Amino acid sequence: MAETVLLRWRREYAERGEAAFTPTEASAGQTSAEQRMAELERFCGQLALENAARKKALQHLQAHQAAVCKNGALSCTCCCRSIPVSRCASSVAG
């Protein structure tokens, strides 16, 4: 350890006592701000993944003409996957 570091610590202890070795409010605020930034970055990443999934589903439905079946399910005509809908289109129209 460098002697200058020890001298600085001694000087700070002489000036501020025990408070010289406790975190200041400014550094605690930075930690809180950094935590908030990390939280927001995770949230943005989650939103980006959700948007990508929605975009992919929309592109799939647009590329493959979807038809509403009589049983109330939305069915892709190319891959026969069923996507449940609340009501059948024929019951809505009638």
| Local mean pLDDT, 10-residue blocks, the chain (94 residues) | 84 86 66 89 94 91 64 58 50 41
Nearest to 34 by CA among 22, 23, 42: 42
Alpha helices (H) along the chain: 3-16, 25-63, 89-93
pLDDT at 84: 54
pLDDT at 80: 54
| Residue 81 near residue 67, CB atoms below 8 Å | no
In angstroms, the CA 40 to CA 32 distance is 12
Beta bridge partners of 83: 74
Residue 7 has which token pair?
């001298």
pTM of the model: 0.42
| Residue 89 near residue 71, CB atoms below 8 Å | no
